[in-house]
Amino acid sequence: MTGPTENGAAVAGAAVGAAAGAAVGAADGPAAGTAAGTVADVAGPPGRTAALVLDRASVAYGDVPVLEELHGTVYEGEAVALIGPNGAGKSTLIKALLGLVPVVRGRIEVLGTSPDRARRDVAYVPQADTLDPDFPISVEQVVMMGRYRKIGWLRRPSAADREHAAAALEQVGLAERARHRFGTLSGGQRQRVLLARAIAAQPRLLLLDEPFNGVDAVSQHTILEAMDALKGRGTSVVVSTHDLAIAHLACDEVCLLNRHQFGFGPTDATLTPERLRATYGGHALELRGDRVIVTQT
Amino acid sequence: MILFEPFHLPFMARALAELVILGALAGTVGVLVLLRRLAFVSDALTHTVFPGVVIGYLMAGEGGVFWGALAAGVVTAVLLTLLTHRRRVSEDAALAMLLTTLFAVGVVLVSRQTGYTADLTAFLFGRVLTVTQEQLAQTGVVTILIVVLLAVLRRPLTLRAFDPEGARAAGIRVGLLDLVSNIAVALVVVAAVRAVGTILVIALLIVPAAAARVLSDRIAVIVPLACVMGAAAGWLGLAASYEASVGHGLRLASGGAVVLILVAMYGLAWAAGVARRRVRLDRASGAAGLEALR
Ligand SMILES: Nc1ncnc2c1ncn2[C@@H]1O[C@H](COP(=O)(O)OP(=O)(O)O)[C@@H](O)[C@H]1O
Ligand SMILES: [Mg+2]
């Protein structure tokens, strides 16, 4: 999972360099002295509801602090990209948003309440390659798991449950694979099935952990389209990725992470070469003209 | 007919009922063991239940065996759940040492008895022909309990086995669920200990599920298949051991016969699985060939 070849190089488009000048203090690295960005302190325009509030939050496994002083807000229908090298704490933040890793200082608010209580409206999409490809389960059964919450333990899936599952599978372009065994699909297709499972749950917040890792172009396109469709319905999206181009393409906000927060704010304004270099460590970043290339992830 | 005739004798009928129920139960729970990769839990249990059995026997005679096994099994299930939630435990040398030590304690305690080899064999390999009504009733109760439990928890159990992080994210109490799984495995070992002994029960848990998995990719098929294969192996094994002893003067321990039948079943299932895959491949390439001709 940590092989350098697998993640390859993340390349951001020409917009990065150009946008650097427009960064109006949307975010600060810890080096700047203040603990966190300034965006979150500003209340959103009227009518916008916050889906996610990080309020100087620190997250720890037991005594080991993993993430410190996170600060930012994501509104309903917006997508935020979590960007940072391996071991930065992206997965840990996603688990904290699920209430599975404790917030030791500060506060995390999800859908207006605590992560624990928000969980029934949050869907999580794990990395497909962390799951056992030999497991005896069909694609449609995986998608139906997204409905378990609504079905309960004993009731049989209703017609409505089946419709939701079928529609979700259709949305990721795998309707004709419903009866295939999950493990027989390609990596990208498996990732799409897991996304369909999340869609079937009708979440208000969607959490995707590195959904584009080792995924083919068709799957990447399908996942991006589905993210857009969900955003259109008011679902907020948190997606961790190494791919700066995808952040530009699909996300309204970015959160630059490496144990600390190195920036949080609108994508173009926040993805500056300076912040990226700080996030990834100076040695890991090459600048060529107006392109930013992260060589080590 | 050798498959029916011996079981007119009441003690043989009881032995048959016990082995068929145990085979069905272990086959079913074996699917959980397979999907959750709990083989090391079954292995640990066989080591700890043995001293439990011995201590129960020393304290209260035959009647103490079940309760000694139960206490040891449940304590083991709880400790293993706690341990695995701290770190990976399956390849831990310290744990292996502890388990062997507990097993040795059992052996030492038995060896202080007069006629201990007989007792030792009974505890390790079981004594199915002396199964009593009361034992049968205990096995029945344990079976009903576990089957109801697995039926009620089938969705969270499947999700947890397939995708543990996803299960946590969905609000499932994974720690509690794992405890229930480990206790279910412990109860099977406890129920089986007097009839097939602590050593052979692991085969009952592992082999039918593995054979069923080779034959099908669907849990809804694997569970009944494993259940039927476990039950059938109990029956055939007992019949074979009766026939060998009575018909041919060969002493053939029934527990061992059951396990050998299971392994033979696995071999057949494996061959059938290979054939099944070959047919499927032929069909696929045949279809591809037709496509190419068009
Ligand atoms: N269960 C855990 N217990 C303790 N530390 C952990 C655990 N999981 C991850 N960590 C540590 O937290 C840090 C961040 O990990 P992670 O969130 O997985 O990073 P990323 O997803 O950005 O690659 C790593 O240094 C890792 O060693
Ligand atoms: Mg990660």
Q: A40-66: string of b/e by CB count within 10 Å (b at 16+)? A: beeeeeeeeebbbbbbebbbbeeeeeb
Residue B1: what pLDDT?
65
pLDDT-based confidence at residue B179 (cuts at 50, 70, 90): very high
pLDDT at B263 over 70: yes
Q: What is the mean pLDDT of residues B36-49?
A: 90
Structure tokens at B145: 């309990």
Q: Does A122 touch chain B (CB under 8 A)?
A: yes
Average pLDDT for A204-229: 95
For range A248-269, the mean pLDDT: 91
CA dihedral B201, B205, B208, B211 (to 10 degrees): -120
Half-sphere exposure (Cβ direction) of B87: Cα atoms closer than 13 Å: 4
Q: If pLDDT is split at 50, 70 and 90, which confidence band does A9 have?
A: very low
Residues B52, B241, B26: CA angle, nearest 5 degrees: 45
pLDDT, residue A222, reads: 96
Do the chains contact at B170 and A137, CB–CB below 8 Å? no
Compute the distance between CA of residue A260 and CA of residue A236 in angstroms, rounded to an integer.
23
Report CB contact under 8 Å: B169, A119. yes
Interface contact flag, B156 A135, Cβ < 8 Å:
no
Q: How far is CA B178 from CA A207, B26, B119, B157, B220, in A?
A: 25, 18, 34, 9, 21
Residue B245: its pLDDT value, please?
85
Q: What is the mean pLDDT of residues A188-194?
A: 97
Q: Is the pLDDT at A17 greater than 50, yes or no?
A: no
Question: Is pLDDT at A218 greater than 80 in this prediction?
Answer: yes
Most trustworthy range by pLDDT among A11-15, A88-92, A275-279, B58-62: A88-92
Arithmetic mean of pLDDT over chain A: 83
B146 CB-near residues (< 8 Å, 6+ apart): B25, B28, B29, B184, B187, B188
Contacting residues for A94 by C-beta, under 8 A, at least 6 apart: A82, A124, A207, A209, A238, A240
- Cα separation, A125 vs A207, in Å, equals 6
| A286, pLDDT greater than 80 | no
The pLDDT of residue B87: 65
Ligand with smallest separation from the Cα of A87: 1
Residue B78 reports pLDDT greater than 80:
yes
Residues A210-220: b if buried by 16+ CB within 10 A, e if exposed:
bbbbbbeeebb
Cβ-defined contact of A136 to B219 (cutoff 8 Å) = yes
| CB A66 less than 6 A from any atom of ligand 1 | yes
CA distance A231 to A210: 18
pLDDT for position B290: 60
The whole-angstrom separation of Cα A294 and Cα A280 is 8
| Number of C-beta neighbours around residue B237 at 10 A | 25
From the list B152, B159, B219, which residue is nearest A145 (CB)?
A: B159
Lowest mean per-residue pLDDT among A42-46, B161-165, B217-221:
A42-46
- Does residue B292 carry a pLDDT above 70? no
Determine the Cα–Cα distance for residues A286 and B5; give it in Å rounded to an integer. Answer: 83
- How close A109 comes to chain B (CA, Å)? 16
Contact yes or no for A124 and B161 at CB 8 A: no
First-last CA distance in chain A: 11
Q: CB atoms < 10 A from the CB of A200, how many? A: 26
Chain B interface includes A154 (CB < 8 A) = yes
Q: Is the pLDDT of residue A28 over 70?
A: no
Distance CA B222, CA B255 (A): 24
> Residues B19, B20, B26, CA angle at the centre, nearest 5°?
85
Question: Sign of the C-alpha dihedral, residues A9, A14, A18, A23?
Answer: negative
The mean of the pLDDT values for chain B is 88
Band (pLDDT 50/70/90 cuts) for residue B204 is very high
What pLDDT is recorded for position B65? 87
pLDDT of residue B120: 77
> Would you state the pLDDT for residue A21?
32
Query: A21-25, B117-121, B149-153 — which one is most confidently predicted on average?
Result: B149-153
A186 or B283, greater pLDDT: A186
Q: H/E element holding A274? A: helix A273-280
Of B35, B155, B166, the CB nearest to A124: B166
Neighbours of A164 (CB within 10 A): 21
Nearest CA owner, ligand 1 atom 9: A92
Q: Write out the DSSP string of A197-257.
A: HHHHT--SEEEEESTTTT--HHHHHHHHHHHHHHHHTT-EEEEEES-HHHHHHH-SEEEEE
Residues 191-230 of A with CB under 8 A from B: 207
State whether the Cα torsion B188-B193-B196-B202 is positive or negative: positive
| pLDDT of A167 | 97
CA–CA gap between residue B177 and residue A189 (Å, rounded): 30
Give the count of alpha carbons within 13 A of A101, CB side only.
Answer: 21
Domains of chain A: 9-294 (3.40.50.300)
Confidence class for position A24, pLDDT limits 50, 70, 90: very low
| Whether the predicted pLDDT of B108 surpasses 50 | yes
Question: Does A241 sit in the ligand 1 pocket, CB within 6 Å?
Answer: no
Residue-level pLDDT at A33 = 36
Q: A138 touching B, CB under 8 A?
A: yes
Would you place residue A233 in the very low, low, confident or very high pLDDT band (cuts 50, 70, 90)? very high
pTM across the whole model:
0.86
Instruction: Give residue B64's pLDDT band: very low, low, confident or very high (50, 70, 90).
Output: confident
User: Which helix or strand (DSSP H or E) is residue A60 part of?
Assistant: strand A50-61
Q: How confident is the model at residue A20 (pLDDT cuts 50, 70, 90)?
A: very low
Q: What is the dihedral of CA B253, B258, B264, B266, to 10 degrees?
A: -150
Looking at residue A26, its pLDDT comes to 38
Which ligand is located closest to the Cα atom of residue A68?
1
Helices (H) and strands (E) in chain A, counts: 12, 12
Please answer yes or no on whether B152 and A154 come within 8 Å at the CB atom: yes
Show which residues on chain B lie within 8 Å of chain A, measured between beta carbons: 35, 152-153, 155-156, 158-159, 161-163, 165-166, 168-171, 213, 216-219, 222
Residue that has been written with the tokens 């906000």 in this structure: A253
- Residue A265, pLDDT above cutoff 70: yes
Task: Output the pLDDT for position A277.
Answer: 84
Task: Work out the angle at residue A115's Cα, subtended by the Cα atoms of residues B87 and A148, and round it to the nearest 5 degrees.
Answer: 80
Give how far B268 is from chain A: nearest CA, Å.
Answer: 20
Cβ–ligand 1 contact at A61 (below 6 Å):
yes
Is the pLDDT assigned to residue B13 strictly greater than 60?
Answer: yes
Question: Poorest-confidence range of A277-286, B47-56, B142-151, B197-206?
Answer: A277-286
Q: What is the pLDDT of residues A136-184, one digit of tens each?
A: 999 999 999 999 988 887 889 999 999 999 999 999 999 999 999 999 9
The pick from A58, A59, A61, A240 for probing ligand 1's pocket by mutation, whose C-beta has the most ligand atoms within 8 angstroms, reads: A61
| SS3 call for A163 | helix
The closest-lying atom of ligand 1 relative to the alpha carbon of residue A257 is 22
Separation in Å, CA of B99 to nearest CA in chain A:
29
Q: Considering only A115-124, A193-202, A259-268, B104-113, which range has the smallest mean pLDDT?
A: B104-113
Class of domain B5-293: mainly alpha
- Cβ neighbors of A215 (< 8 A, separation 6 or more) are A187, A188, A191, A223
Residue A43 is classified by DSSP as P
H/E stretch holding B66 = helix B64-86
Tell me the shortest Cα–Cα distance from B200 to chain A, in angstroms.
27
CA of A209 to the centre of ligand 1 (A): 13
Distance from residue B203's CA to the centre of ligand 2 (Å): 38
Point out the least confidently predicted range of B55-69, B116-130, B269-283: B116-130
pLDDT score at A25? 35
pLDDT the model gives residue B293: 57
